[in-house]
Structure formats: structure tokens, C-alpha cells
Amino acid sequence: MPNLTDDKIKFLEEKAKAIRISIIEMLVAAGSGHSAGPLGMSDIFAALYFFILRHNPAEPFWEERDRLILSNGHINPVLYATMAHAGYFPVSELLTLRKFGTRLQGHPHREYLPMLENSSGPLGSGLSQAVGMAIADRMDKGKTSDRFFYCLLGDGELDEGQNWEAIMLANKERLGNLIVFVDRNNIQIDGYTEDVMPLDSVLHKFESFGWHAEEIDGHNFAEIIAAVGRAQAVFDGPSVIVARTIPGKGVSFMERDYKWHGNPPGTDIPGEPPKDEQAKIALHDLRTLGGQITSEHQ
């Protein structure tokens, strides 16, 4: 990877901001969808598509590209928004999210949007898909392949037992070409993860299965990119990066609130701003970084 300069960090921050704004706009247009997870993962997706991944939007089926497998498909607004801003399809198409006939389904559907690497919906299946892809790549190309397979998981998704079968197999097969991000935002649709099904230390769980594991601030570009660099240097086994993120990042009334896991702006929730004001507040928060930037500098 290239060196991470201050100018590049500023560039990534601007991309993440644009992605978050698009997420709110597309959710409002759809009138349904998930808010908290996509906003929380925007920095990681910006880092992946605008710095880390080897890919080419002008040639989406380029054989030597890295692969990105989204397991927790319900956060797909961040995937769609990032791909659009990266040039895979027009940003204007984001406003068709969840509409009849759209390519932007409520869960990623590879047949509708061929730029996607996988279809996802049932939680817990994406890591198995990624492990299979990584094994197949090694079978096809042997040790000469230098592409990576990046799989993104939600922390609540780790309640699904199939993940742990895939985690065991990835270690058995010594998949040095597999790098997993776990979105450790501590929420799921029914509440906080530690109330629904305590995960305790996700880091230690992966380590006990033989993985290279580290934990980072999922909103710090320097930490994100450095962790990926270290994972890429592990040749004899899979790596996991447990990213601590703030669900609803950037929107004052959504941050750290599990009620926004599966709801879009415009939802009538007791104790929250009036539903007719939510989109306006959210976009103002994002455009001004929570009021830190005055309107003349937007």
C-alpha cells in the first residue's frame, strides 16, 4: 500500500462524510432500511475502497482484483454509497434503494448488481463464502496469488454458529489471504449485544481459534490502514481486525442507540426527535460535523 499522508487522511475523511450523507439521503428516499451500522462503518469502507483495495471501477471483473464479501448484508447502504462514490455506478442511482425494480436491493443481490462479490441476507453465511473463495483462489493460483479476500461481519452476527465452523476451517487451511473486519458496535436489532448474547472479548475468541487478531478504533484511518498492513504480512494464517465503532456515527440522536439499528430517519420512536425533523437534523449534523463547522465553510 502507498504511504498514508495527512492529505490522504483528509481526503478519506471527506469521502467518509460524503458516504454518510448519501446513506441518510438514500434511506429517506427509501423510507426503510438500517441506519446505525452503515453510518458506523463508513470510515472503514472509505479506507477500503479509496486506499486499501486493489480494484478498478472501470473494470469491475478485473481478474486480479481483491474481493470484498459483505456478510451482514443489512448494512448495504454503506456498501452501495461507497461503490457509487468510487465510480461503480452513478451516485444518483442511490435514491432507488429498495424501490421496485432497483438494482439496489434491501440486501445485496449479485445478479442485480454484478459489481458485488456475493449475495447476502441470512446472517452468519458470509464468512463461509469468503473462506471458500480464499481456498478456491489458492487452489487455482497456488502461492503465487497476491490478492486478498476481505470479509465484513457484524458483532451480533457472531451469535450464528456457522461463523465458528468457518473460523475453525480458515485456521486449519492457514488462509493468509483472508482478512476479516468485525464491526464491534455493541448493538443488534433487539438491544445491546452484551444483553442479548454476551460476546465478551471477540479478540480473545478469535485468538483462541488460532487467528492473528488485533483491535482498533474503527474511526481512525491511521489505525485501520496500519492494521490491514500488518494483516497482509501474516502469510501462515487468517487475520481478524476487531473495529470498535460508534453505531449511528455522526448523527447526534442516533449514536450508540440500538433503536436505530434497523430504522431509517423518519421513524416515530419515543424520546427521539419528531420524525419529520430527523432527516434535516441528521444531514445538518453530518455536513457540519455536529456543529463544529459553520454553514459558510460547508
Domain for residue 264, yes or no? yes
- pLDDT tens digits, 91-109: 999 999 999 999 999 999 9
Domain for residue 96, yes or no? yes
In this prediction the pTM is: 0.95
Which residue from 10, 9, 24, 42 is spatially nearest to 245, judged by alpha carbons?
42
**Average predicted confidence (pLDDT) for the chain:** 94
pLDDT of residue 145: 76
DSSP state for residue 234 in the 8-state scheme: -
Q: What is the CATH number of the domain that holds 60?
A: 3.40.50.970
Number of domains in the chain: 1
Question: Distance between CA 23 and CA 231 in Å, rounded?
Answer: 29
Domain for residue 232, yes or no? yes
- pLDDT tens digits, 223-233: 999 999 999 99
- pLDDT tens digits, 42-91: 999 999 999 999 999 999 999 999 999 999 999 999 999 999 999 999 99
Q: Name the residue range of residue 56's domain.
A: 6-297
Domain for residue 241, yes or no? yes
Domain for residue 87, yes or no? yes
Is the confidence at residue 297, as pLDDT, over 70? no
CB 28 within 8 A of CB 99: no
Domain for residue 207, yes or no? yes
Domain for residue 1, yes or no? no
Q: pLDDT band at residue 121, thresholds of 50, 70 and 90?
A: confident
